Amino acid sequence: MMPIGAMWHRIDAEPKLSDADFSLDAPVGYSVERLTAPTISEDDMLAYLRAVAEFQRGLLPETIDHSAIDRERLDYVGSGVKLGSEKEIVCWHRLKGASTYHVVYGDLQIRELKRGELPLIPQ
């Protein structure tokens, strides 16, 4: 066997670094643009759920991202709900300052429920 190529590396174990190499300030000639978090409307959420359900052969997603929520208690909510189901709850949320929750059903209709009417009581 004959090698067909070779690669050489020069590793500098003691590079000359300055504090500026570790600064989070914008370099000269650049500026930092501060972005605000995007606002997601209920219509955006419903469009997303519909797209996911259509991609998954009519089933709504079991989870989206519930990393901060107790998985054991939440696992059954929305799991296996068929797109079009009028009686099964997919998810819910409460708008800032509101006393009722907006509950999304499998038919992607939103109905308002009180806290005690939800399948799991929010903490």
| CA 63/CA 78 separation, integer angstroms | 8
The residues spanned by each domain of the chain are 62-123
pTM of the model: 0.53
Residue 106: count of CB within 10 angstroms of its CB: 22
How does pLDDT run across 3-35, given as a tens digit for each residue?
Answer: 777 778 888 889 899 888 888 888 889 998 989
Which of 82, 52, 54 shows the shortest CA–CA distance to 65? 52
Flag whether pLDDT at 84 surpasses 70: yes
pLDDT at 68: 43
- Burial (CB < 10 A; 0-12, 13-18, 19+), residue 49, is buried
Single-letter residue type at 6 = A
